[in-house]
Amino acid sequence: MMKGRGQEKNVIYIDAGFLDGSVRVDDLPKNNPQYPDAWSTTSFPVSENDIVKCNDLAQYNSEIRIRQYDSSGGQSNRLDVGYNITILYGMTHARLMYLNKDRKAPIPKELTVTHADGTIDIYKIIDRR
C-alpha cells in the first residue's frame, strides 16, 4: 500500500513563495514579484508564550518573519520580525519565512520551539524548493 506524501515528525519544509495575509495555515506560499526569492516553511504547532527560535539566521533581520495562525487557520495581524519570537494568545501554528531580497538567506538547519511548559521541540528543516 502506498503512503501519501506527509510531513515527517519534527521536520518542517522550505517552499518557494511569499506569505501574504490571504495565505492560510495550510496553503502554499504564493509568488510575489516584489519578493521573487522569498521562501517559507510549512507550519508547526505552537501555543501562547512558546518561543520560536532559529539560530542559523541573524538575530535581528527585517527579512525574517514568523507568521502566527489561530485555530481557524487565519493569520494574526501582527508581523513578527527577528529570529526569536514569542507566540501570541490564541495562536495554534506558526511558519518561518524569509523575504530573501538579496539572495543571501542561509538555509537554516533547524528551528527550536521552547514551549511555555519548559518542553522543547527541535525541528529539522528540509529545503524542497
- Exposed/middle/buried for residue 102 (C-beta within 10 Å: 0-12, 13-18, 19+): exposed
To the nearest 10°, the Cα dihedral for 40, 127, 48, 88?
-20
- pTM confidence score: 0.86
Cα–Cα distance between 53 and 68 in angstroms, integer?
A: 14
DSSP conformational letter for 123: E
CB 12 within 8 A of CB 108: no
- Digit-by-digit pLDDT tens for the chain (129 residues) are 333 445 567 999 999 999 988 899 999 999 999 999 999 999 999 999 999 998 877 766 778 888 999 999 999 877 777 778 899 999 999 999 988 877 776 788 999 999 999 999 999 999 999
